[in-house]
Structure 1
Amino acid sequence: MIKISYPSYSFKIETREGKEYIFDPLRKKWIRLTPEEWVRQNFLQYLLQVMNYPASLIAIEKEIQMGELKKRFDILVYKNDHPWLLIECKEMNTPIDEVVMQQLLRYQTVVQASYLIVTNGNDTRGIGRENDQLITLNTIPVYQ
């Protein structure tokens, strides 16, 4: 498991017609605040503030084609014009189990990132490829 210490951040949250919305500074728009979106926004701030990932190389909720199906990944970080780190976010009460890992691996068949992370905000796990072998990550990869 990867230990994450989330930074403090002044999220912009507002209520419209009884529903909460959060402003996503990367997408520059208001997004419906769901439990999964809360995890995604906190993880993004961790990548930006703590890990110093370049905001311009982070894609959020982009569509991918998986055979006949269209799916959306949560976060993808690019490096040298290639997918580098694929992140799947789940709401806090969703356990990181085999079903969640299989979803991430299905996305990976299309994306082909070097590293994969899955998080529910409390439990964060990752795997990477080194010398054509999968390895378990103990930390979030450093972007250099």
Structure 2
Amino acid sequence: MQKLNFPSCNFRFKNSENKTYIFDQIRKKFVILQPEEWVRQHVISYLINEKSYPKSLINIEKVLTINNLKKRYDIVIFNPDGSIHITVECKAPSVNITQETFDQVARYNLSLKSSYLMITNGLNHYFCQMDYENEKYIFLQDLPPHQK
């Protein structure tokens, strides 16, 4: 897998039936290593190790329904009160981050109502704080660290 624009990480891998698997520390199981999963695992490591978010507040790949369509978010970080603090959309490194990508996350966020958004393909990262009152994004240099 290619080098991504994240701090280096120590991952656990296993091979089975000619497939490579990576251990997901949130789901506590090995998952097939695809390019998007490679990005997702780097984001998880970044959130835990660099931003100090507890594993207990991180949720991976759950289904949500938007306009009667089933969609699946990549990563959300909850606040202790159960509201959503950050929504993360991961793309494979070969996928360019476009307006369409932002629109996808914005549609998800209509239901999720998170305070922050992160969109990444592992090479380029975009961070936004939501300004619901003025209906706009405020672009940031990085996500805030976990407030203990």
Q: Fold match, TM over 0.5?
A: yes
Instruction: Give the SS at the match of 1:8.
Output: coil
Matched, 1:136 2:119: no
Instruction: Give the SS at the match of 2:142.
Output: coil
Deviates more, 1:6-15 or 1:65-74: 6-15
Amino acid at match of 2:146: Y
In structure 2, relative to structure 1, the CA distance for the partners of 1:18 and 1:136 (3 Å cut) is same
**2:14–2:21 contact (8 Å) kept in structure 1:** yes
1:53-91 Cα deviation digits (max 9, x unpaired): 111000000110112211110000011321010000001
Q: Structure 2 length normalisation: TM-score?
A: 0.89
Deviates more, 1:50-59 or 1:11-20: 11-20
In structure 2, relative to structure 1, the CA distance for the partners of 1:68 and 1:17 (3 Å cut) is same
Aligned to 1:37: 37
> Structure 2 CA distance, aligned partners of 1:36 and 1:131?
29
Aligned to 2:128: 127
| Structure 1 segments (4+ residues) deviating >4 Å | none
Aligned to 2:114: 113
Aligned to 2:58: 58
> Structure 2 CA distance, aligned partners of 1:84 and 1:119?
17
Percent identity over the alignment is 38
**1:7–1:49 contact (8 Å) kept in structure 2:** no
Instruction: Give the SS at the match of 1:105.
Output: helix
In structure 2, relative to structure 1, the CA distance for the partners of 1:111 and 1:131 (3 Å cut) is closer
> Structure 2 CA distance, aligned partners of 1:123 and 1:34?
18
The Cα of 1:8 is off from its aligned counterpart by: 2.7
Name structure 1 gaps, 5 residues minimum.
none
Aligned to 1:92: 93
* Matched residue count: 141
Matched, 1:18 2:18: yes
The Cα of 1:29 is off from its aligned counterpart by: 0.7
Name structure 2 gaps, 5 residues minimum.
none
Query: Higher RCO, 1 or 2 (CA under 8 Å, sep at least 6)?
Result: 1
**1:48–1:55 contact (8 Å) kept in structure 2:** yes
Aligned to 1:46: 46
Aligned to 2:7: 7
